[in-house]
Structure 1
């Protein structure tokens, strides 16, 4: 993702932009050691937004996204809300054609059902609802979603089609390999960073006054995402439905795939982790799945290295990531 050369001051810490990143080679070795014990393949990219440090393993390897591609749908939703092409409050209708199996609840409900577009996105994220995902794709447009990903500089991130629905257009030759979508750890990290830092302007212009609330709404969905068995596994053991989580994340899973991308509010500043596993020997759909444990170990190693004091849910203004920056600007005038 291309961004301006200057660092942007948000929330009282410095978000270090591309070009200033420094690879944490010691952490790289820890990640490599954890991954080598896993019975499958691992790709990872992590970014400490305060220091600019990065850690990685096969960060540019194209991988199956499974439901993690829903992050790309969220990015396009933010762009279209920003452009006033869609609204979180508008109504969308659930149709029989979009009711599909897999995760979520909408596929089991009785028609007709009308939802707000915002609630459709919430179900897509919080429950990874596949039917809600298809509703969102219909409203935004498959081609528009992919155009936004290209405009954001993401050359290896693609949403190929709707979930469990045959493609309606010719598919690229690599689609059978990746299924629903493909990405890389580095590119999925970039999507999460763009939402967490509220860098929505694809032309790198300054944020609009309403951007912070758009990002806040999306981060709220990610923060309430209910699958916490992967990256958050060993980091957060409290009931986050009552206390508020320090992590916003989106998972994706297939029989041989377990993925997770997360934004973490730590006591030492914000951290983004995008991690993917595939070719996994353990294909159990239980919380003891080896890949989910591996993802948890990777996240703990990263947080222990970059924020030994742990996480801090209150350390980030989830409802409006630009709020502190706006207040600082007003105070200086």
Structure 2
């Protein structure tokens, strides 16, 4: 395993790590990276234990929680949720433009939360499952630095950890959020010492979730230089969830590399470039890091078909 800091490195680095370090050195801000190829165990960890603002990438923890609840039989994709008047919030997404009351399925709400990072949909998911459920799950998984603090664009409710104001919506590390994404990809919805999910129900949850992540709308970060062909019919070889704030750009993905699946999380933060164009430096930095790692580890490229239906990952037992 390669472990390094974005500061000066004393130990030797391999060529891929050195290439990533060079990209980071040119970025006007801070960067945290965790990359792991699951079949070869190749790993790059650069400030991977540093707590960072999640922005919308914390929605992966909510997605995993919803998947687990479906696997336990406590929820179902076809159950109905209703958006009431006055509950819509601005920002990413479209639900806040719709007439209310609006009744949709849980699957529709989760899909909107993922593919267009819909903030109103996220809050509907929080109403259904609660931040406490998400945070208790993350803690039980050993992900003690991964927290969903509150609803989007709503004030925090009740006693909050002292660092909530610093991190806003949520907190994680590049390594810990990668664990969440890997569990989604492996359809690993169990927590040690707690009731086990039903395998058939879990598969229903996982297949739908992967399709959501494969169709994630914002593709200017990790997929930017990796997807060179139209994937609207064949499907994307990258299942991902982005997060953006004025000074933060991040993306977390499973990449169906032909040499073996790669889990990758890249966070750029405290960025000088706070613009919202596709050429934002943070977005480009994430894309360059993804290209450097995937090109080095999988010169053959990526394969969208490997993501149908389960990312080509070994399934959880």
**Which TM-score applies when normalising by structure 1?**
0.87
Q: Contact 1:76 / 1:148 at 8 angstroms: preserved in 2? A: yes
Match of 1:44 among 33, 47, 52: 33
Q: Contact 2:186 / 2:310 at 8 angstroms: preserved in 1? A: no
Q: Contact 2:243 / 2:249 at 8 angstroms: preserved in 1? A: yes
**Which TM-score applies when normalising by structure 2?**
0.92
CA distance in 2, matches of 1:98, 1:81: 25
Equivalent position of 2:199 in the other structure: 208
CA distance in 2, matches of 1:152, 1:195: 13
1:186-216 CA-to-partner distances (Å, cap 9, x unmatched) read: 0010000011111211128797233223211
Q: Please state whether the residue corresponding to 2:48 is helix, strand or coil.
A: coil
Is the alpha carbon distance of 1:179 and 1:325 closer, same or farther for their aligned partners in structure 2, counting shifts above 3 Å? closer
Q: Contact 1:68 / 1:261 at 8 angstroms: preserved in 2? A: yes
Match of 2:305 among 294, 309, 314: 314
CA distance in 1, matches of 2:108, 2:207: 15
Aligned residue pairs total: 306
Equivalent position of 2:273 in the other structure: 282
Q: Contact 1:75 / 1:195 at 8 angstroms: preserved in 2? A: yes
Equivalent position of 2:256 in the other structure: 265
CA distance in 1, matches of 2:178, 2:315: 23
Which ranges in structure 1 are unaligned for 5 or more consecutive residues?
Answer: 1-20
1:158-210 CA-to-partner distances (Å, cap 9, x unmatched) read: 00000001122122110111000000000010000011111211128797233
CA distance in 1, matches of 2:14, 2:291: 17
Q: Please state whether the residue corresponding to 1:234 is helix, strand or coil.
A: coil
Equivalent position of 1:65 in the other structure: 54
Q: Contact 1:31 / 1:57 at 8 angstroms: preserved in 2? A: no
Moved more, 221-230 or 191-200: 191-200
Corresponding position: 1:131 with 2:113: no
1:122-146 CA-to-partner distances (Å, cap 9, x unmatched) read: 0000010000000001001121111
Q: Contact 2:92 / 2:119 at 8 angstroms: preserved in 1? A: yes
CA distance in 1, matches of 2:228, 2:198: 35
Kindly report the root-mean-square deviation, in angstroms, between the aligned alpha carbons of the 2 structures.
2.0
Is the alpha carbon distance of 1:144 and 1:108 closer, same or farther for their aligned partners in structure 2, counting shifts above 3 Å? same
